[in-house]
Structure 1
Amino acid sequence: MPLVRRVRRTTAMARTLATAALTALLLLPTGTDAGAATGTTGIAAGPPELLLGQSGAGAWNDFETFGRDADGGSVYYELRKGDWVSDTHRRYATALADQGRTVQVGISWKDNPPGFPGGDENAKAARSRAVTAEIAAGGHTASLARLLAFADARPRARFKLRLDYEVSSFYHCTDASCSSYKNAFNRLAGHLDSRSKAHNLEFVYHPVRGEFEALYPGDAAVDRMGVSVFAHELCLPVYDRGYRYNGTPPQNYDVGASQCRNAYVGTDSHGNPAAVWRNFDHDANVLKLVKFAKDHGKPVVLSEAGLMNFTADGGTTDGLEQQRADVWMKRLFSLMNYQGPIPNLSGQHDLRGVIQSVVYINLDFRYGWDGVDDGSFDFAPDTMWFVDGRLSRYGPARTTFCQGLAAGGFTARCR
């Protein structure tokens, strides 16, 4: 039976995950004093959501082989086209929305900027920044007409609209203050909100994890904050033709222990920040983003979450990550229930209940971003995206995932 919830734009949704079962199941940082954590979130609400996929119904169908009652899914819409990225995205969005479910929509312009004739990544980023400024000045709103009509025609559904995703200064800021993106977000949110007849839209600010504060558009237009959770966010190494650290300097990461050293005290003999071992399972910037969201009364959406290639064996072709996948799952749910220190911030912090939606991609990434084995695009076996992320393909990781849903109060359940 479809799960129907109506959205009130002035009321944030929330919930509390303070259960002994979840705390026992999911790995809290060493040395955490849960009793010393300060306060619980003041964000108000309902059970956490499970959304599936990032393109088509394949992610949903895989979950249905062992689970039920997921809340919705995730798709993409392109500003340049004024339409869904592909018919696959449109069909999935339609199937979900027609049942009154939640649809997260990534409204993209950085990946394919309007008016971009082609060129290298620097040229594309320059055009994306220009488009951001054009949006701030009132441009490109006509490209949202199809999306707005789609949402209005399905008033029982809820739409979480990411006004571009993984936003950053490189792709979205024309000056140090990043007024371009802040004004663009507010302009798009105001345009859509004022023209929505169904009033079933929420606006998600989804930055890269290190720039969440600098690009923040302000409390008035932002309903939720988003963050991506793949490997480095959970302090796991990635194999891409050799171990790599995804921007985390090697001295701040331990490959063998799969831990982040991301608390700094003073400098070393060379004048570099001195990392102190703190046994963290979660990247400091992710913890700080969740705290920032809590401080601003904004629920968090894990807008993109999925496995990556954690092994060094490029010779296998099944894409499975049996051992690392279970560690990844444990850390995913422990992030939702985090209590403890945050690097470079004083005191203990209680972040339970801030993360209210998890978008698990649940695709076989060996066959590209849509996970479809149609011969159109495959990742090489020794690269980071060569991984089968479908939960049906795992044992311990799927068990942990199912336990996390039950202990965390999700409506979604495993059979």
Structure 2
Amino acid sequence: MSRNSLAGLAAAGVLVAALVGGQSPAGAATFAPTDGRLLFIGQSTRTAWDDYTSFAAAPSGGSVYYEVKSGTWVNSGHRDYATFLAQQGKAIQIGVSWKDNPPGWTGGDEQAKAARSRQVTAELAAGQHTDRFNQLTDFVNAYPRARFFLRLDYEVSGFYHCTTASCDSYKQAFARLKALIDSRKRQDNVTYVFHPVRGEYEQMYPGDAVTDWIGVSVFAHELCLPIHDNGYLYNGTPPQNYDVAALQCRNAYIGTDSWGNPAAVWKNWDYDGNVLKMMKFAKDHGKPMIVSESGLMNFTADTDTRGLEPARGDLWVKRLFGLTNYSGPIPNTSGSHDLSQVIKAVTYINLDFRYGWDGIPDGSFDFPVNSTWFADGRLSQYQAARSSFCAGLTAQRFVTTC
């Protein structure tokens, strides 16, 4: 390790101590448009980009993954897509992940993998595995015109990332990694995304000083839509909290009775309460939100091998854009809340999931017919959903439209 590297790590350690629990630095980069929103496409290869740009203008960027264990991109498809975007000066969301394949994990069940992931989280917080970020920071420095949205792991949870109830391990790992990358980058082209599972955002929040964005995944339950898996219907809520006919969640908010006293008011919702609460949390902390992952799933019980979801796909799209513009009550809280300016970026995966996470029909990984992920999520395959998507981009003032 060079003297400069040692100095950088020492500075990183000082920054961690200063940033955890501190105040937000002035001018922290988000790259969010002041009046508008960003659209990212894809999650692994250029396949999603090519499909989307067959009917729409090129979006603001795309999304890929980088793994800590190998210290490089998940595979060449992710690297090549990132390079394609970076060469154009586009925005690139990078999921920097260790939970899927933790360093030092050689096999075992999910419990064993999660245990190792928690240990790695603590090790990252202590300053270990710094060499695994060399390729990432080299790539960032090679493309000064690009803008990098770094998710320091994705869909983070207590199960995979917390060694104690306080989850200081993840909070400190987030701050340590931010400080490390900041000490190595040559230009201000990096912003940092905290992307928790819904329901665990508050206890895992790394703090205002180190968090630039708050991310959320939006698939089925987040929009109160059901998923089907080999004949099994799952809507994600207890029966009394779901209106099957209306495809909506049922929850109460704190309103008033006829005498003006606080009282529970039951209503149907298009959105999961945890998502709306996370949006309010982000607004309260002055952080923009990014839908870091979103896409169609298997919403209907059928064996259509085309994997199409025409009716509910259109409903899904309309609810997605409705979420970006939400204003109203929130389950279990009082008052009305304007959350219409919280979500400033959306990542739509736009892949044919029938053929796995990369959507490429090469026989390497296919989902079984009628399983949860057996769905064609390419917007080019849906006339109504595509029209609603294009209308949503215009109505919600996205930087790029159709």
Normalised by the size of structure 1, how large is the TM-score? 0.86
SS in 2 for 1:261: strand
Instruction: Name structure 1 gaps, 5 residues minimum.
Output: 1-7, 16-44, 266-274
| Superimposed CA distance per residue, residues 339-391 of structure 1 (whole angstroms, 9 cap, x where no aligned partner) | 00000111000001110110000000000000000001110111110000000
Letter in 1 for 2:121: T
Counterparts of 1:238 and 1:378 in 2: how far apart (Å)? 18
Per the TM alignment, residue 254 of structure 1 is displaced from its structure 2 partner at its CA by: 1.9
Per the TM alignment, residue 251 of structure 1 is displaced from its structure 2 partner at its CA by: 2.1
Alignment of 1:84-103 (within 5 A): 84-103=73-92
Q: Which residue of 2 aligns with 1:198?
A: 187
| Superimposed CA distance per residue, residues 95-141 of structure 1 (whole angstroms, 9 cap, x where no aligned partner) | 00010000000001000010001000000000000000000111112
| Superimposed CA distance per residue, residues 23-70 of structure 1 (whole angstroms, 9 cap, x where no aligned partner) | xxxxxxxxxxxxxxxxxxxxxx14211100000001100011100130
Q: Which residue of 1 aligns with 2:9?
A: none
Per the TM alignment, residue 406 of structure 1 is displaced from its structure 2 partner at its CA by: 1.1
Question: Is the CA contact 2:243–2:268 (under 8 Å) kept in the aligned structure 1?
Answer: no
1:10 counterpart = 2:21: no
Per the TM alignment, residue 207 of structure 1 is displaced from its structure 2 partner at its CA by: 0.1
Letter in 2 for 1:356: K
Q: Which residue of 2 aligns with 1:281?
A: 270
Q: Which residue of 1 aligns with 2:286?
A: 297
2:343 to 343, 347, 355: 355
Alignment of 1:320-359 (within 5 A): 320-359=308-347
Instruction: Name structure 2 gaps, 5 residues minimum.
Output: 1-25, 255-263
SS in 2 for 1:147: helix
- Going from structure 1 to structure 2, the CA distance change for 1:91 and 1:11 (only over 3 Å counts) comes to closer
Q: Which residue of 2 aligns with 1:119?
A: 108
Counterparts of 1:373 and 1:198 in 2: how far apart (Å)? 39
Per the TM alignment, residue 278 of structure 1 is displaced from its structure 2 partner at its CA by: 1.0
1:365 to 353, 367, 371: 353
Counterparts of 1:113 and 1:192 in 2: how far apart (Å)? 20
Question: Is the CA contact 1:9–1:202 (under 8 Å) kept in the aligned structure 2?
Answer: no
- Going from structure 1 to structure 2, the CA distance change for 1:308 and 1:101 (only over 3 Å counts) comes to same
Q: Which residue of 2 aligns with 1:308?
A: 297
Per the TM alignment, residue 244 of structure 1 is displaced from its structure 2 partner at its CA by: 3.6
2:249 to 260, 263, 286: 260
2:383 to 387, 395, 400: 395
SS in 2 for 1:263: strand
| Superimposed CA distance per residue, residues 157-204 of structure 1 (whole angstroms, 9 cap, x where no aligned partner) | 000000000000000000110011011101101111122102211100
1:409 counterpart = 2:390: no
Q: Which residue of 2 aligns with 1:186?
A: 175
Give percent identity, aligned residues only.
63
1:319 to 307, 330, 335: 307
Letter in 2 for 1:355: I
SS in 2 for 1:202: strand
Q: Which residue of 2 aligns with 1:228?
A: 217
Alignment of 1:21-60 (within 5 A): 45-60=34-49
Counterparts of 1:46 and 1:137 in 2: how far apart (Å)? 40
SS in 2 for 1:119: coil
Q: Which residue of 2 aligns with 1:73?
A: 62
Counterparts of 2:253 and 2:58 in 1: how far apart (Å)? 43
Deviating runs (4+, > 6 A) in structure 1? none
Counterparts of 1:131 and 1:288 in 2: how far apart (Å)? 30
Q: Considering only aligned residues, what root-mean-square deviation do their CA atoms show, in Å?
A: 1.5
- Going from structure 1 to structure 2, the CA distance change for 1:99 and 1:73 (only over 3 Å counts) comes to same
Counterparts of 1:220 and 1:381 in 2: how far apart (Å)? 46
Structure with greater contact order relative to length (CA < 8 Å, sep ≥ 6): 1
Aligned residues: 368
Question: Is the CA contact 2:31–2:191 (under 8 Å) kept in the aligned structure 1?
Answer: no
Q: Which residue of 1 aligns with 2:126?
A: 137
Counterparts of 2:135 and 2:394 in 1: how far apart (Å)? 37
Counterparts of 1:332 and 1:198 in 2: how far apart (Å)? 34
Per the TM alignment, residue 11 of structure 1 is displaced from its structure 2 partner at its CA by: 4.7
Q: Which residue of 2 aligns with 1:219?
A: 208
Per the TM alignment, residue 246 of structure 1 is displaced from its structure 2 partner at its CA by: 5.6
SS in 1 for 2:203: coil
Counterparts of 2:29 and 2:189 in 1: how far apart (Å)? 12
1:173 counterpart = 2:191: no
Counterparts of 1:262 and 1:171 in 2: how far apart (Å)? 29
Counterparts of 1:159 and 1:171 in 2: how far apart (Å)? 24
Q: Which residue of 1 aligns with 2:370?
A: 382
Q: Which residue of 2 aligns with 1:105?
A: 94
Question: Is the CA contact 1:74–1:104 (under 8 Å) kept in the aligned structure 2?
Answer: yes
Counterparts of 1:251 and 1:116 in 2: how far apart (Å)? 41
Question: Is the CA contact 1:9–1:201 (under 8 Å) kept in the aligned structure 2?
Answer: no
SS in 1 for 2:137: helix
Question: Is the CA contact 1:105–1:159 (under 8 Å) kept in the aligned structure 2?
Answer: yes
Counterparts of 1:412 and 1:191 in 2: how far apart (Å)? 33
Letter in 2 for 1:140: H
- Going from structure 1 to structure 2, the CA distance change for 1:375 and 1:276 (only over 3 Å counts) comes to farther
| Superimposed CA distance per residue, residues 66-97 of structure 1 (whole angstroms, 9 cap, x where no aligned partner) | 00130010000000010000000000000000
Counterparts of 2:372 and 2:215 in 1: how far apart (Å)? 22
SS in 2 for 1:225: strand
Counterparts of 2:251 and 2:68 in 1: how far apart (Å)? 37
Counterparts of 1:62 and 1:276 in 2: how far apart (Å)? 44
1:237 counterpart = 2:237: no
Letter in 1 for 2:348: Y
Letter in 2 for 1:141: T
